[in-house]
Amino acid sequence: MKLLPTVGSLFMAALLAGCQSSEKKAGEDSGKGMIHLITLDPGHFHAALVQKTMYDGVDSVVHVYAPDGPDLQLYLDKIEGYNTRPDDPTHWKEEVYKGPDFFDKMIADKAGNVVVMAGNNRLKTDYIHKTIGAGFNVLADKPMVISAAKFDELKDAFTEADKNKVMLYDIMTERYEITTMLQRAFSQQADVFGTLEKGTPDNPSVTKESVHHFYKNVSGSVLTRPAWFMDVDQQGEGIVDVTTHLVDLVQWECFPEQTIDYQNDIKLTSARRWTTDMSLDQFKAITKQDAFPDYLKKDVVNGNTLRVYSNGEINYQLRGVNAKVSVTWAYKAPEGGGDTHYSIMRGTKANLIIRQGAEQQYKPTLYIEPAGGNTSLETSLKTVLPAIQKDFPGVDVKKIAKGWEVVIPDKYKEGHEAHFGRVMQKYLQFLKEGKMPAWEVPNMIAKYYTTTQALELAKKK
């Protein structure tokens, strides 16, 4: 198999091109053919991260529709921080409408053509469906649906999007993390990787594990989380939230640019869910609220401990390949640490492993280790490296005890926050071309089928 030609080259093109409209003042770029953003009820900090940079072809005036309250103010404060930072400041101008009829007002005003949604997930599927039905494009933070009961509504939204000639897309930032991109690229080199093992439920061919933290720093300050973020009825359980990224990566890496049929290609083996416990003091530290709100009291035990079903694991088969994805939420990372990712793809000739622990100084690192008694891996790596380096100039490998470590130049190590800009650039490209790759929509549907059905299976236990 040949290395997919566009992944690295598009990354480098975006890296070199950057986001170019920094010399214009707010409102100056409002001509015909522009993208005009609307931000709907920005309850999650991801809504602000989409605007951490400026974009060519996107109006700097953003219309915001939301209820008045702390969620809205936190979003506006982040945008103001980007506008006033000393290095490469943005110049967004936020036109805000706040009132109980904010959603209907947004639909009636038609002040933009792309609606960004990142917030409370309880109503998100309804918002998506109605917004698409009204003829807007939608860029939605994950998850777009958090329950099996709403899955058909999301499917209908995609059908409606096709009918209305608009695009519905979710923000899959992890496709732009460089070790993941390279794991995918090396897996397409048969001389090194061989072919993907099928694995078993007890020894999956593909494993992806993600560790997150409620207490964290974003854009240089401790993140204030809305209290509803800890309510799984509003945020969604971990098994339908962060695992969305992991299921997406399994599809994207194992069957690149291929359409997944959710009715025939996916078979759930097992699923489980468990809680992270949080004291009232810990809750106060991240929400700035002195007490658990009434809607969280159903999850409080002993008057002082909040139990959040933020953790989940899915074991399933994708076209006969056994995969396992799991997400764990701790309260706070160890000193010097942060969110971490572990991933392995097992091939007949080599295993491709991403580790991000203390040994790696909590930086994701890709390793290539021989499998199946392979003794010719070094020769194969020398053969395929030019193909890898064509799309990822400067990438190399170095010998270590267990195999090889992939050496990645710093220019590729952008960090998670920058990946939101990469997703926006990709979405803008789709809008400009008037189409998405044929596999994107069915694979989004397959992804959310996997997560929502896994939740149903886990609840049965």
What tens digit of pLDDT does each residue of 162-212 get? Answer: 999 999 999 999 999 999 999 999 999 999 999 999 999 999 999 999 999
**pLDDT tier at 32, thresholds 50, 70, 90:** low
| pLDDT 10s digits, 50-68 | 999 999 999 999 999 999 9
**pLDDT tier at 38, thresholds 50, 70, 90:** very high
Is 286:214 a contact under the CB 8 Å cutoff? yes
| pLDDT 10s digits, 72-129 | 999 999 999 999 999 999 999 999 999 999 999 999 999 999 999 999 899 999 999 9
| pLDDT 10s digits, 281-314 | 999 999 999 999 999 999 999 989 999 999 999 9
Domain ranges in the chain with CATH number 3.40.50.720: 7-173+430-434
**pLDDT tier at 44, thresholds 50, 70, 90:** confident
**pLDDT tier at 218, thresholds 50, 70, 90:** confident
Which CATH architecture is the domain 7-173+430-434 placed in? 3-Layer(aba) Sandwich (3.40)
* Alpha-carbon distances, residue 419 vs 14, 53, 94, 110 (angstroms): 11, 11, 22, 28
Find all residues with CB under 8 Å of 359, minimum gap 6, and list them. Answer: none
Task: In whole angstroms, give the CA distance from residue 278 to residue 309.
Answer: 11
Domain 175-414+441-460, CATH number (from 3.30.360.10, 3.40.50.1240, 3.30.70.360, 3.40.50.720): 3.30.360.10
* Helix or strand (DSSP H, E) at 459: helix 440-460
Q: Is the pLDDT of residue 3 over 90?
A: no
Q: Is the pLDDT of residue 225 over 50?
A: yes
Tokens coding 270: 């097992």
Quick one: pLDDT at residue 123?
Answer: 92
Quick one: pLDDT at residue 1?
Answer: 36
pTM over 0.75: yes
